[in-house]
Structures are given as C-alpha cells and as structure tokens.
Structure 1
Amino acid sequence: MSIETHVESLANKHAEIEETISREEHRPVPDTMKLSQLKKKKLRIKEEMASLMTRH
C-alpha cells in the first residue's frame, strides 16, 4: 500500500469517527465514555496521518 493510499484510508476513518462523534453528541444523553474513546482514536489517526505526510 502506498503512503498516499494509507493516508486516504486514515482520512476516511477519521471522517467516519467524526460523524459518529457528532451523532453521539446530539443524543439526548450522550455516552461520555464512548465520546472520550472516539476522540482519542480520532486524535491517534490524525497524528498518524501527520507523521506519514511529514515522512513523504
């Protein structure tokens, strides 16, 4: 897998997580633990994308 393909895949996952976070935040009683986990996962993906882009 090329770096560009991997970054694109990560960007898609990042967008999916962002959508999931948005849906959870708009629920009447959001699950704060779930939100925290999703936000951490989203941050790790963002950091991995940044790392790949600086190496490229």
Structure 2
Amino acid sequence: MSLSSHLQELKKKHASLSEAVEAAQRAPSTDGLQIAELKKQKLRLKEEITRLSGDRLH
C-alpha cells in the first residue's frame, strides 16, 4: 500500500469516527467513557495523519 493510499484510508477512518462521535453525543443513552474512547481513537488517527503528512514534506 502506498503512503498516499494509506493516508486516504486513515482520513476515511477519521471521518467515520467523527460521525460516530457526533451520533454518540446526540444519543442520551451513550456512556461518556465510550465517547471519550472514540475521541481518543480519533485523535490518534489525526496524529498519525499529521505525522505521515509531515514525512512526505521532507
């Protein structure tokens, strides 16, 4: 898998997690810890995307 396609896949996963976080926040029955875990996963993906994107510039 090329770096470009890997980045695209990470971005898709990040967008999917964004939607999941938004949906969870709208649902009154969703546990706050579950939302926090989704946000952590989203942040890890964002950091990975940023790191890989930065590597492409050098």
**Does the pair score TM above 0.5?**
yes
Let me know the Cα RMSD of the aligned residues.
0.8
Q: Following TM superposition, where does structure 1 have runs of at least 4 consecutive aligned residues deviating by more than 3 angstroms? A: none
Return the alpha-carbon distance in structure 1 between the equivalents of residues 7 and 34 of structure 2: 25
Return the alpha-carbon distance in structure 2 between the equivalents of residues 9 and 42 of structure 1: 13
Partner of 1:3: 3
Alpha-carbon distance, 1:19 to partner:
0.4
Return the alpha-carbon distance in structure 1 between the equivalents of residues 36 and 20 of structure 2: 12
Partner of 1:34: 34
Partner of 2:16: 16
Stretches of structure 2 lacking an aligned partner (at least 5 in a row): none
% identical aligned pairs: 36
Q: Per-residue displacement from partner, 1:4-55 (whole Å, max 9, x unpaired)?
A: 1000000000000000000000012331010000000000000000000011
